[in-house]
Amino acid sequence: MGQAQELEFKGIGVSPGVVSGRVRLLLSGDDPVPDYALRPGDVPREMMRLETALIETRQQLAEIQRRVSQALGGESASIFEAHLQVVDDRDFLMEVYREVRDKLRNIEKVFFDVAERYAQTLLQMEDDYLRERATDIRDVTRRILRNLMGGGRDWLAGLEEPQIIVAHDIPPSEMAALDRGKILGLAMELGSVTSHAAIMARAMELPTVVGLRDVYEKLADGDHVVLDGVRGMLVVNPTPATEREYTRIARGRMEIQKRLDTFKDEPAVTLDGVEIDLAANIEMPADVTAVLARGARGIGLFRSEYLYLANAGDPTEDQHYAAYAQVAKAMLPDPVIIRTLDLGGDKMPAGDRRTEEANPFMGWRAIRLSLARQEMFKAQLRAILRASAHNPKLRIMYPMISHLAEVEQADALLRECMDELAAAGVDFNRDIETGVMIEVPSAALIADWIAPKVRFFSIGTNDLVQYTLAVDRVNERVAHLYEPTHPAVLHLIAHTVEAGNRHGVWTGVCGEMAATPYFVPLLLGLGVVSLSVSPLAVPVVKDVIRRIEMSDAQALAAEARKRANGAEVLALCRQLLRRRAPDLLELAE
């Protein structure tokens, strides 16, 4: 027989590495959920069965958390806090109780139905982070149902030889059952860079690709594949030439990574001596370990949303403070920028999830929500101020500013918080710096009016591109129109930088453009002086900076601003990187 046809599937690379091997398809193997009628007198017994299953589930999750913490560290183990919170969510359990009582159906059926409603609601949301929380609910639901129905073994156990695992999805608790020595890599139909499976895969250093739509149906056990966790590729039945090419790529990346590790503690300075502030983005305090390990000089974006999403109600001021103080102390003397609440109609705080909006990305969200719920906002501001006593470079950043009045109102509330803390004798930094996210075209266009009110701008290029071009990049029909090099986007970035310079305000970028090697020189040439990227991207971005001259970057930006075609600008960016750092261009593609 001849060589089977080579097929390529494109997904999202979430954990780097290239591996080649045989496929093992994994099914969840869940038993059907029983469904039968109850008599009214059966309800107490059913609820007692649920309580017993919940106790058993808590014990199992605690043991999984302990094992993961020992093997992978506290950052990965903290993932299971969300699972434990599901088990202890009294509102959720009361809803289950009411339905058992009212519908008189068995506990397995009602529990599954209620949990699935919660999961489906999260799956409808635009935000990757929230969609992934549906996986948490389903993971815990599966475990509780197994305990209700007499247990059952983890379906990832028993692999006998190293293979590439292909699955529809792999819940975190079942990821914890993986034997790293028997797994070459992971390929999943669902997932994103923020999924818990992706986080754990990176911690386990398993090459992983997610978002491989419909791949499961087209593979069989034993198929030979190549998996590239950087490019997000899965190649089925690779030809010998393809195998050789991926082997070459893997070796090249390994050499690059070895070199990157040698200058972890060196500054991000261009060949002609211009130093750039290179910081990292984090989701939660546990991420600081990765920031320090990768050589970033500070936190350029601390997303505070997890505090709201992880709580049954709004987090308390002390809960905020504990998280912020932990990061402030750990990063001293480097700066930390905390972005205030950036939730909205598509992802609401637990205390206000009743709101539904037809177009949440242009609705009641971010600074608009904070200004409408002032006590919630002030609790966060007071906590940040209290944490500033531990690090004089702790800074506050307001998200999704579109009007000057929003900055003024937020600052007025900040002054109120300062007065309250001063009256109570609480220590804080009265000269704390504030800044704004430039993510909406209107904010960029009025940057000259905003600048006198702030100390820095941080451009969120992901949203700025989407709002400027009216393109939802997760919509397959229009995703090709998502173009960071579009002349309008470059004009808004340059206008923001120039307005800031006129008023002594520095400008950074914390979106994906900052983490893309061939866009780094363009941003620097446009006048950006600070970049904040994921911890994993820090070494590569630092290497780009250290291998170019600022004069190269400025010439690139000047030429880019003459072009009316974004594709031409992209080509210019690639040309510069190919000339200065061709090996890094390969990492970016």
The crossing angle, in degrees rounded to 10, of helices 566-580 and 550-560 is: 160
349 with 424, same domain: the answer is yes
- Model confidence over 394-444: pLDDT tens digits? 999 999 999 999 999 999 999 999 999 999 999 999 999 999 999 999 999
> Pick the residue with more confidence: 275 or 7?
275
- Model confidence over 353-383: pLDDT tens digits? 444 555 656 777 889 999 999 999 999 999 9
Which segment of 118-127, 493-502, 521-530 scores lowest on mean pLDDT? 118-127
**537 domain residue, yes or no:** yes
Residue 131 has pLDDT above 60, yes or no: yes
**2 domain residue, yes or no:** no
> How high is the pLDDT of residue 178?
66
Q: Does residue 95 contact residue 330 with C-beta atoms inside 8 Å?
A: no
295 with 208, same domain: the answer is no
- Model confidence over 334-355: pLDDT tens digits? 999 999 998 764 444 444 544 4
The pLDDT mean for the chain works out to 84
Domains identified in the chain, total number:
3
133 with 186, same domain: the answer is no
Average pLDDT over residues 568-588: 88
- 417 catalytic residue (yes or no): no
Domain range holding 55? 40-148
CA–CA distance, 370 with 344 (Å, rounded to integer): 9
Q: How confident is the model at residue 571 (pLDDT cuts 50, 70, 90)?
A: very high
Q: How confident is the model at residue 311 (pLDDT cuts 50, 70, 90)?
A: low
- Model confidence over 146-171: pLDDT tens digits? 788 765 444 445 556 788 988 877 76
465 with 564, same domain: the answer is yes
143 with 162, same domain: the answer is no
405-409's contacts with Cβ under 8 Å and 24+ in sequence apart are: 406/367, 406/368, 406/371, 407/436, 407/450, 407/453, 407/454, 408/453, 409/371
Of these residues, 83, 196, 390, 486, which one is catalytic? 196
This model's pTM is above 0.75: no
**103 domain residue, yes or no:** yes
> How high is the pLDDT of residue 1?
46
485 with 582, same domain: the answer is yes
Q: Does residue 538 contact residue 282 with C-beta atoms inside 8 Å?
A: no
443 with 416, same domain: the answer is yes
Q: The domain that contains 469 carries what CATH number?
A: 3.20.20.60
**34 domain residue, yes or no:** no
341 with 390, same domain: the answer is yes
- 510 catalytic residue (yes or no): yes
Q: How confident is the model at residue 15 (pLDDT cuts 50, 70, 90)?
A: confident
133 with 202, same domain: the answer is no
**525 domain residue, yes or no:** yes
Domain boundary, last residue among 99, 125, 148: 148
> Pick the residue with more confidence: 127 or 569?
569
- Model confidence over 478-490: pLDDT tens digits? 777 889 999 999 9
Q: The domain that contains 68 carries what CATH number?
A: 1.10.274.10
> How high is the pLDDT of residue 149?
78
180 with 321, same domain: the answer is no
**33 domain residue, yes or no:** no
Domain boundary, last residue among 128, 148, 168: 148
141 with 180, same domain: the answer is no
Q: Does residue 2 contact residue 183 with C-beta atoms inside 8 Å?
A: no
Q: How confident is the model at residue 84 (pLDDT cuts 50, 70, 90)?
A: low
Q: Does residue 560 contact residue 532 with C-beta atoms inside 8 Å?
A: no
In this prediction, what percent of the chain has a pLDDT beyond 70? 82
Residue 79 has pLDDT above 80, yes or no: no
Domain boundary, last residue among 148, 177, 196: 148
Q: The domain that contains 177 carries what CATH number?
A: 3.50.30.10
**1 domain residue, yes or no:** no
Of these residues, 486, 495, 510, 573, which one is catalytic? 510
468 with 384, same domain: the answer is yes
**417 domain residue, yes or no:** yes
